Structure 1
Amino acid sequence: MQTAPAFAAPRGNPLRRAEAWLDARGKGAWIAAMIAGFILFWPIGLALVLYMTFANKWSLGRSHKSRSMSRMTGGTGNTAFDAYKADMLRRLEDEQRAFEEFLERLREAKDKAEFDQFMDERERKSERKEDDGTAAA
């Protein structure tokens, strides 16, 4: 009977195996590989910098993953803060809605005042024309 080896290396693409090996050792291993790449042949180091940037390998670890998940779900994981945040956002939305209603009433009042002024001026002009017409006749 055969026993399974303690560490089974993933088979397949050697680049994927290297990536898995570096991921298992953490951010320090990625940085060491990048520095070694620059020392051996600078395009290798540059390629590793670009890969680490686009694959988000600069911040490996649980805290980064939990922060990413909380950003995607909109929660921080702290229920008291999340409740406070939701309440504050609701209040701010209510204040914004009230302020927009106030601005709308202000615009309507201004429009009405301008229209009333226009109608008064028009009425005065027509009265002057009537006065001029009766005086000339």
Structure 2
Amino acid sequence: MTTTPAPTLTAESQGWFSKAENWLDARGKGAWIVAMVLGFIFFWPIGLALLAYMIWSNRMFNGSCKSRRHRHGHSHRFTSSGNSAFDAYKADTLKRLEDEQGAFEAFLQRLRDAKDKSEFDAFMEDRAKATDADEAKA
């Protein structure tokens, strides 16, 4: 079975839209935002169209905190510096920091749970007092 490679698009075979899109992508999200703002300034439908395209193609949300949070918790892959002693030190330090972060997050969760429990206990105590006061009046 033979497969033919997919045709690659050269700069000459791409349309003006693809060229502009590649140019903006090469410069990052800031270039897209500048293009959108300029579109709104010069002719508002162009700015609106760029905003819709950025949202539709997920260019607006790439590299956001959400993606960083998604990567959190996965082991990090780092390239070697060429110095094995430094690489071992870096790996040990990162492992220690990840362990400390996990312990700190567990500590914060215990604090939140204790606060929630004390607030709930205070609510139930106030409710019981209100119920006893209502029964005493009746």
Give the TM-score taking structure 2 as reference length: 0.44
Length-normalised TM-score, structure 1: 0.44
Greater Rg by CA: 1
Higher relative contact order (CA 8 A, sep 6+): 1
Q: Which has more helix, going by share of residues?
A: 1
